[in-house]
Chains A and B, each alone.
Chain A
Amino acid sequence: EDKVVQSPLSLVVHEGDTVTLNCSYEVTNFRSLLWYKQEKKAPTFLFMLTSSGIEKKSGRLSSILDKKELFSILNITATQTGDSAIYLCAVGGGADGLTFGKGTHLIIQP
């Protein structure tokens, strides 16, 4: 059974801090790992990673995949209150549909 584990489950930091969110996985026939940001509405796409060791960046957010150790991290630098959300990691593997982790609930305090 495909499995995605995210840590921590929740995190509270102050504005301006840097955070690292973790995602480890066990899937058959790995195809891709995706990060989503979920506020009160629909999850919105952040990154898709397919190759190991190549960092993807978008502004203050960056992510990297380690296919040997089966994990990915999502970094957010200089956090802002608008970064408060649930960050979901999902992996595309042998089954149709993505397997999601439970998410990391990130709270940025002013």
Chain B
Amino acid sequence: GAGVSQSPRYKVAKRGQDVALRCDPISGHVSLFWYQQALGQGPEFLTYFQNEAQLDKSGLPSDRFFAERPEGSVSTLKIQRTQQEDSAVYLCASSLTGNENTGELFFGEGSRLTVL
């Protein structure tokens, strides 16, 4: 596709439910990043893939968060047993380069998660 595509755009979950957020990066982009953006804050790094390899998951806030990119293209961010503090916009971004973030990131429009 022409840009980074994320789905769903909006998700309302009851506390304790599991959710899965999908990211389709720009075709051919090597690097894929997930960020969490709370209201009024800048995006916070969650995890980074280079192709199918998850090279850094240091930003994942707890073991309830899990991300995968099994074929080096589409990625899924899964949140188990959602809590209210998980409510945020989850941004996916991709980059053409395989190096650590020296290049421009292209962001998707985000998935807004609201946990009731």
Contacts and interface: CB of A to CB of B under 8 A. Distances in A.
Interface of A: 4, 6, 31-32, 34, 36, 41-45, 48, 50, 88, 90, 92, 95-103
Interface residues of B, number: 28
Q: Tell me whether chain B's interface is mostly helix, strand or loop, or mixed.
A: loop
A32 B47 CA distance: 19
B105 A102 contact: no
A2 to B, nearest CB: 9
Given A97-B33, A97-B45, A98-B45, A45 B100 contact: no
B43 A92 contact: no
Interface of B: 4, 33, 35, 40-48, 55-56, 58-59, 91, 100-110
B59 A31 contact: no
B107 to A, nearest CB: 4
Given A42-B91, A42-B107, A88-B43, A97 B56 contact: yes
B42 A100 contact: yes
A6 B42 CA distance: 10
Given A97-B35, A97-B45, A97-B101, 15 more contacts: A32-B102, A34-B104, A41-B110, A42-B108, A45-B105, A45-B106, A92-B101, A95-B56, A96-B45, A96-B55, A97-B33, A97-B47, A98-B43, A100-B42, A102-B41
A42 B110 contact: yes
B32 to A, nearest CB: 10
